[in-house]
Amino acid sequence: MTRHARRAGASLVALLIAMPLAAQAQTAPTKPDATTPAARMAEAEAKREKVSTFKLANGLDVVVLPDHRAPVVTQMVWYKAGSADEVAGTSGIAHFLEHLMFKGTKTHPAGQFSNAVSDIGGEENAFTTSDYTAYYQQVPAEALETVMGFEADRMENLVLSDEAVLPERDVILEERRQRTDNDPGSQLSEAVQAALFQNSHYGIPVIGWRHEMEKLSREDAIAWYDKFYTPNNATLIVAGDVTADQVKTLAEKTFGKVQRRAEPGDRAALRATEPEPVAARTVTLTDERVTQPSFSRTYLVPSDTTAKPGEAEALDVLADVLGGGATSRLYRQLVVGKGIAANVGAFNASSALKEGQFGFYATPLGEAGIAPLEAGIDEEIAKVQKDGITADELERAKNRVRKAVIYERDSQTSLARRYGAALSTGRTIADVDSYPERIEAVTVDAVKAAAETYLQKKRSVTGYLLPAPAAAEAAPATLNRS
């Protein structure tokens, strides 16, 4: 039922949906000509029903995203509590509590909430990341009060016993075994993250380290719940066939009764900050289960929340131009041109309270090997640092963003996730709404400057996933760092 999410990479267009952006542009865009794609986009945005927001007396922030095309609503509750907030030695507790939130309350036994959602034809799920944990349901509009009541109830009345906690601990350990311990690619990813983040808890896997997960207790779960699952540390987002007045009335009737019981504090101030990198690092995982080698490189960059004005948007455009799809530079050079890559791409994972990540990935085609892929990627990076990108490349990247924004509006859940992730990582509704304008303000010079500043080897960790040598097929996996 539940799942956890890494700080993973994707193309600019994919990140737009899951990772809303926040930094302000350096200069205001000029008013576009009425016949341009940007102008049509601005006109469509102006016609969209506006987002509403208010705060309950107990501190719960509420956001309403009206969409009256169908009698359906999506409710999401976002807690500003992720794996990067965990106390040392309790890695995985954020994700563990996500599981335990389905174990029942003082008024509703385990399974009753989920059964109620299923009986009315609805859907539900939950997910945990480094920065937040969220729960959602999509149901008929007339059932909104019902799911709001259930969700408000488990915000303060969760019942945790050893009988519920200990078997669920076995569940998350099995989840780790299946998703990570039995997957060399996931193991390498964990090692890369640990090497990239030398001071921050972003280097700790969301699911947790196995030896610490094995010791998680009922007391750990209750302490996490009592500290972070309080209305003043949460955001309620309702998207769909509702009005702000309807949501406010129902929110006060349900969530408004939940007592404010903790003050989690300023997470950004409490968290450790990464020092400026001084040395490039490499991580190599060799495993007999690997049948296809692969390459990755991840750079430490500012996030949407910490970037200087215009930087996050420039990094988004840079990722799109270099590796955002079949028309990107890397794809055209390494897949189409030289025929040495089965796939290649770039991403800017910038939705975070603290540091972000910019990365590349590639898989060789046939017997090509990793070395020419790495050289080809380095060559394209050097070209951008020296000569920048073209005006045509910039316009194409902007056009893909415009289209992605339009497609996103077609999904209640995607839209709610975009706002929820932003509000849970230090950004605002205005930041989300102004993203297209800030992308329009990006210049070729800004993209070149971003490449020069942040795509430096000393800021990176390179990962190599390799098959075991034929002579050592029976040997266990080995992990080398340098």
What are the tens digits of pLDDT across the range 426-458?
Answer: 999 999 999 999 999 999 999 999 999 999 999
Same domain, 262 and 369: no
Average pLDDT over residues 116-139: 97
Dist. CA 50–CA 166, nearest whole Å: 46
User: Average pLDDT over the chain, rounded to whole?
Assistant: 90
Task: Give the pLDDT confidence of 31-71 residue by residue, as tens digits.
Answer: 555 566 666 555 555 556 789 999 999 999 999 999 999 99
- Read off φ and ψ for residue 23, nearest 5 degrees: -65, 150
Nearest residue to 317 via CA among 199, 148, 440, 415: 440
Q: Which residues contact 56 (CB under 8 A, 6 or more apart)?
A: 62, 231, 251, 252, 255, 256
Dist. CA 77–CA 231, nearest whole Å: 10
The yes-or-no answer on residue 98 being catalytic is: yes
Task: Give the pLDDT confidence of 328-376 residue by residue, as tens digits.
Answer: 999 999 999 999 999 999 999 999 999 999 999 999 999 999 999 999 9
Q: Please tell me whether residue 480 adopts helix, strand or coil conformation.
A: strand
Q: Which residues contact 80 (CB under 8 A, 6 or more apart)?
A: 131, 132, 228, 233, 234, 235, 264, 267, 424
Same domain, 286 and 197: no
Q: What residue numbers bound the domain in which 312 lies?
A: 281-481
Q: Please tell me whether residue 478 adopts helix, strand or coil conformation.
A: strand
Q: How many CB atoms lie within 10 A of CB 118?
A: 12
**CATH code where residue 101 lies:** 3.30.830.10
Same domain, 420 and 323: yes
Residue 391, in any domain of the structure = yes
Q: Which of 251, 270, 289 is the endpoint of a domain?
A: 270
Q: Which of 270, 302, 323 is the endpoint of a domain?
A: 270
Same domain, 248 and 289: no
**Given pLDDT bands bounded at 50, 70 and 90, which one contains residue 226?**
very high
Residue 31, in any domain of the structure = no
Dist. CA 287–CA 285, nearest whole Å: 6
- Our CA angle for 394, 297, 93, nearest 5°, is 110
What is the number of structural domains in the chain?
Answer: 2
Residue ranges of E strands in 170-289: 234-240, 281-287
> Hey, what's the torsion of the CAs at 304, 308, 313, 319, to 10 degrees?
-80
First to last CA, the chain: 39
- H or E element that contains 65: strand 61-66
Residue 14, in any domain of the structure = no
Same domain, 254 and 292: no
DSSP code of 235? E
Same domain, 213 and 190: yes
pLDDT at 16: 43
Same domain, 179 and 264: yes
Residue 30, in any domain of the structure = no
Residue 145 has pLDDT above 80, yes or no: yes
- Our CA angle for 311, 424, 24, nearest 5°, is 25
Task: Give the pLDDT confidence of 229-286 residue by residue, as tens digits.
Answer: 999 999 999 999 999 999 999 999 999 999 999 999 999 999 999 999 999 999 999 9
Least confident piece of the model among 148-152, 208-212, 281-285, 476-480: 476-480
Q: Which of 224, 241, 270 is the endpoint of a domain?
A: 270
According to DSSP, the residues that pair with 297 across neighbouring strands are 360, 462
Same domain, 207 and 305: no
Residue 3, in any domain of the structure = no
DSSP 283-310: EEEEETT--S-EEEEEEEEE-TTTSPTT
Dist. CA 127–CA 134, nearest whole Å: 6
Residue 9, in any domain of the structure = no
Task: Give the pLDDT confidence of 363-422 residue by residue, as tens digits.
Answer: 999 999 999 999 999 999 999 999 999 999 999 999 988 888 888 888 899 999 999 999
Predicted TM-score (pTM) of this structure:
0.88
Residue with the bigger pLDDT between 2 and 317: it is 317
Annotated active-site residue in 86, 98, 124, 380: 98
Residue with the bigger pLDDT between 45 and 6: it is 45
Dist. CA 203–CA 194, nearest whole Å: 4
- Is the CB of residue 241 less than 8 Å from the CB of residue 67? yes
Same domain, 364 and 345: yes
Dist. CA 217–CA 79, nearest whole Å: 21
Same domain, 335 and 453: yes
Same domain, 300 and 359: yes
Residue 413, in any domain of the structure = yes
Helices (H), 82-161: 93-100, 112-119, 144-156
Same domain, 58 and 127: yes
Residue 246, in any domain of the structure = yes
Q: What are the tokens at 362?
A: 């590639």
- Is the CB of residue 318 less than 8 Å from the CB of residue 451? yes
Question: Pairing state of beta strands 2-4 and 355-364?
Answer: unpaired
Dist. CA 166–CA 62, nearest whole Å: 34
Average pLDDT over residues 80-84: 98
Dist. CA 53–CA 51, nearest whole Å: 7
Dist. CA 159–CA 151, nearest whole Å: 14
Handedness of CA 362, 368, 372, 376 (dihedral sign): negative
- Our CA angle for 452, 197, 84, nearest 5°, is 125
The number of angstroms, rounded, from the C-alpha of 247 to the middle of its chain's C-alpha atoms is 27
pLDDT at 20: 35
